[in-house]
Amino acid sequence: MNKTLLEISQTKNGGLSEVVVNWKNYTKETVILAISELRKRGIPFNDQLENLIAEFSESHQKSISELEQEFFQNNGVADYAEYSSSKINVLEKSDEERIDYERLLQLRASLIQQHEQKQANNDVLYGALWFFGGLIVTIASVASGKGGVIAYGAVIFGGIQFFRGLTKS
């Protein structure tokens, strides 16, 4: 599993410790960044974390300091502070993209709500038309005295559609 610098920098201390505890499930880069971020925050390492960091180092046959130094040199920086500050533009761009995405989601939700409101209004209007149309046809037909058409389908359908529209609006 791989985590980006943005994810590492936004992860709480417990989440970073979890990366160290389960270092076998993460990439070498993620573990190094998590350890560096914990150090930057001044979080003291207990014996268990120290042992896990030692296991991680032994699995790569280098000390954690050597692994960090090698990683940061490969990225053209001296240390974690310089590495994270060199990525500020990337993080800012990611933040701008996230904000734009959130605005897009809000706009989409607003459009959906407007569409649902319009649909509810249409249900009220057409439901009332069906209901009263069926009622008028039924009353006129029965009033003629010869029996006639009972438009109960239109009355029931119109009533259901009308009340469905009312509950949605």
Q: What does the alpha-carbon distance between residue 122 and residue 164 come to, in Å, rounded to a whole number?
A: 11
CB 10 within 8 A of CB 94: no
The predicted pLDDT at position 149 comes to 81
pLDDT for 93 equals 53
| Residue 21 shares a structural domain with residue 82 | yes
Domain termination site, one of 26, 51, 86: 86
| Domain contains 46 | yes
15 lies in the same domain as 74: yes
Same domain, 71 and 127: no
Domain end position, chosen among 22, 52, 86 = 86
Any domain includes 105: no
pLDDT at 165: 93
Q: What's the confidence (pLDDT) of residue 59?
A: 92
Q: How far apart are the first and last CA of the chain?
A: 47
- Picking from 25, 13, 77, the residue whose alpha carbon sits closest to that of residue 49 is 13
How many independent structural domains does the chain possess?
2
For residue 102, being part of any structural domain is answered with no
Q: What is the pLDDT of residue 163?
A: 94
- Give the residue numbers spanning the domain of 116: 112-168
- The reply to whether 94 falls in a domain is no
Q: What is the pLDDT along the chain (169 residues), one digit of tens a residue?
A: 777 777 788 788 888 889 889 999 988 988 998 998 888 888 888 899 899 999 999 999 999 889 998 888 888 888 888 888 776 555 555 566 777 888 899 999 999 999 999 999 999 999 999 999 999 998 888 888 777 788 889 999 999 999 999 998 8
**Shared-domain flag, residues 77 and 145:** no
- Per-residue burial over 11-31, b if 16 or more Cβ lie within 10 Å, else e, is beeeebbebbeebeebeebbb
Answer yes or no: is 91 within a domain.
Answer: no
Check residue 94 and give its pLDDT.
59
Asked whether residue 103 is assigned to any structural domain, the reply reads no
